[in-house]
Structure 1
Amino acid sequence: MQHNTHGEMQATKKAISWTLFILSYLFVEGSCQDFGGGQTQFICTSVPKDMDICAATLQNSMPGEDLKTTVMQLRETVLQQKETIMNQKETIRELTSKLTRCEGQSAPEPGPGGRRKETGTKNTMGDVSRGPSDTLAQLSQTLQSLKQRLENLEQFSRNNNSVQANSLKDLLQSKIDDLEKQVLSRVNSIEDGKPGLRNETEQRGRVESTLTSLHQRITDLEKGQKENRPLDKFQLTFPLRTNYMYAKVKKSLPEMYAFTVCMWLKSNASPGVGTPFSYAVPGQANELVLIEWGNNPMEILINDKVAKLPFIINDGKWHHICVTWTTRDGVWEAFQDGVMRGSGENLAPYHPIKPQGVLILGQEQDTLGGGFDATQAFVGDLANFHIWDRKLSIGEIYNLATCSSKAQIGNVFSWLESSIDIYGGASKWTFEACRQLN
């Protein structure tokens, strides 16, 4: 379209040049021929030196008529070209406007901290952009991950005859029971919405067969006396980046004018490990959030205000991280593996953390208790998550990172298995916080 417009503009320029050339001979004051029609126009005609100008003009009336016709044609051509150019400009404006709208819709507008603003409701069992086949494939991938873990558990049990392995098997069976209900519910809803989809029906059969096989293998593994592990000796595992796999803390947080939050994290997810935890309150989904999304650094959000944290943890190893904050001047500090890595101020100053909210592990909330986005989900392992309503000292944080006997537990929230519910295929496994330090 740009090439054609350029050609038309060149033609217009030529037409205008010819018109100006001809008019330079037409409208010159001092000659005397009237073409009629109520308007007197003057032309300049070459005549002999001694000849009367008006007589010469009358003698050449026919060429003057031809010239007038030519001028009118050129004038009409100029008007047509001008109209064409105006139409082309309007078309360009329309296409530019449409292109701008398309570009704006293709990439959602980022919110504070580089996070995407949601424009609609989300499916709590899968990414809304996925079709039925994609959703079932993702669920099958989840089952495959559980199957691999079970195989590892079998090998461990055969090699060690461990009572602890039996405890892990019980947990796994419980989680598979929950997952089976969700998978079958999802498949049924797909088939109800689109009856007669043969591929989905066949895949449902394969999923059910896999679940049955897993149940049977777990039953075969159950031998010996079971032993309950201590309530705080566990980790949460989020093996896949989904928008339905998460853990929920059973109680809310109190109003806090200062806090320290610490945890152990292990992840090699890329890009970004996701959201280890998010706390939302009515009217503010980002009351307190720890997130590393996309290629952005890890961030702490308080009342939607953002501070970038100097953490580097996506190397597949366990790391102990802590963040402290006080409402006075919004002063914050960030610790990795017991060492302060950064600090700052003016992070939501004089804004207390509000009570009566929902604390979620593994997902970022866009609405109170929901609105999860798979691209912001945490992928990896999380353990020993504690919250205090005060700023811990450097020594106290070092004791936590080095597993000192002087280490304390959170007075606002402490890491207990009975305090957390898990959903969507997330799992609990036995974990000794400092085992990797030995």
Structure 2
Amino acid sequence: MSNLHGKAFTFPGIPDSYVRLHPTVTLSGDIAAASVCLRYFSDMPEAERVQSFFSLATRKRFNGFLLSKKGNSSYYQIVGDAVGQFWGLPADLNHWNSVCGTWDSDTGLSQVWVNGKPGARKFVFKGGRLTGTPIVIIGLDQDAYGGGFYQIDAFIGQLTDVHMWDRVIAPCEINNYSEDRKFQHGNLINWHAAAYTTYGNVVEEKQIHSDLVKECRRTDDCCNLF
């Protein structure tokens, strides 16, 4: 296990470069509710370009739980191969964006939040379950169990602060996460106690926050801040 707090992975956007995250507990039963939060930094504005942030696949469901963005117009949350598309949410270029996705099987309600702003609720995979041992990958979309990658879906930029819960986290928790305040870390994936494997040309490095850049402009010794 490694504490990745303050660390980020930089992705070049090619299909053989990704990070596999290993859940902190053995997931072999049913997943009936889930929440995923992460932060991304990118400068990709293309209208038709899909960027995959988080991909959970099982042997039966390659798109078990997927978070992605298409251009600057919409975000996608796919659960159990059922698609929810969310419009009108922030997608700031060259800025850290916080994304959270929640899903509950009992109600079928799915929702995406970006920088603390909620998207409209959608009905996705009501009554469904994610069964079997999952593979979790960031930076690429699995179109097969642990593989089937395509460059067109590859993320280009930085990803950090990835957490996953086996419940629907509350709006106040999402707000705390988005504002970088204290929150309960994910019980399935915890960025502060993460087991992971990198593949390809992914680079692990220190995360540079915008507030540090501002502080750097006000000091004569910028290097001490990083």
TM-score normalized with structure 2 length: 0.82
Which of structure 1's runs of 4+ aligned residues deviate more than 4 A?
293-296, 432-438
Structure 2 residue aligned with 1:209: none
Displacement of 1:398 in angstroms is 0.8
Corresponding letter in the other structure for 2:18: Y
Structure 1 residue aligned with 2:203: 427
CA contact (8 A) 2:90 2:115 kept: no
Q: Determine which of 104, 108, 115 is the counterpart of 1:326.
A: 104
Matches within 5 A, 1:28-427: 231-238=4-11, 240-251=12-23, 253=27, 255-271=30-46, 272=49, 274-293=51-70, 297-310=74-87, 311-313=89-91, 315-345=93-123, 347-405=124-182, 407-416=183-192, 418-427=194-203
Corresponding letter in the other structure for 1:422: T
Question: Equivalents in 1 of 2:40, 2:79: separation in Å?
Answer: 21
Question: Equivalents in 1 of 2:211, 2:181: separation in Å?
Answer: 13
Question: Equivalents in 2 of 1:435, 1:340: separation in Å?
Answer: 24
Displacement of 1:338 in angstroms is 1.6
Q: How many residues align?
A: 207
Q: 1:266 to 1:424 in 2, by over 3 A?
A: same
Q: 1:308 to 1:370 in 2, by over 3 A?
A: same
Question: Equivalents in 2 of 1:230, 1:249: separation in Å?
Answer: 13
Corresponding letter in the other structure for 2:179: T
CA contact (8 A) 1:364 1:372 kept: yes
Question: Equivalents in 1 of 2:210, 2:93: separation in Å?
Answer: 18
SS of aligned partner of 1:285: coil
Question: Equivalents in 1 of 2:63, 2:73: separation in Å?
Answer: 17
CA contact (8 A) 2:3 2:194 kept: no
CA contact (8 A) 2:53 2:67 kept: yes
Q: 1:419 to 1:230 in 2, by over 3 A?
A: closer
SS of aligned partner of 1:366: coil
1:165-203: per-residue Cα shift (whole Å, max 9, x none)?
xxxxxxxxxxxxxxxxxxxxxxxxxxxxxxxxxxxxxxx
Question: Equivalents in 2 of 1:313, 1:350: separation in Å?
Answer: 31
Give me the CA root mean square deviation.
2.5
Corresponding letter in the other structure for 1:344: K
CA contact (8 A) 1:232 1:384 kept: yes
CA contact (8 A) 2:111 2:122 kept: yes
Corresponding letter in the other structure for 1:256: I
Question: Equivalents in 2 of 1:283, 1:260: separation in Å?
Answer: 20
- Structure with greater proportional helix content: 1
CA contact (8 A) 2:32 2:104 kept: yes
CA contact (8 A) 1:402 1:434 kept: no
Larger relative contact order (C-alpha < 8 A, sep ≥ 6)? 2
- Structure with greater proportional strand content: 2
1:56-79: per-residue Cα shift (whole Å, max 9, x none)?
xxxxxxxxxxxxxxxxxxxxxxxx
1:20-79: per-residue Cα shift (whole Å, max 9, x none)?
xxxxxxxxxxxxxxxxxxxxxxxxxxxxxxxxxxxxxxxxxxxxxxxxxxxxxxxxxxxx
SS of aligned partner of 1:403: coil
Displacement of 1:396 in angstroms is 1.1
SS of aligned partner of 1:275: strand
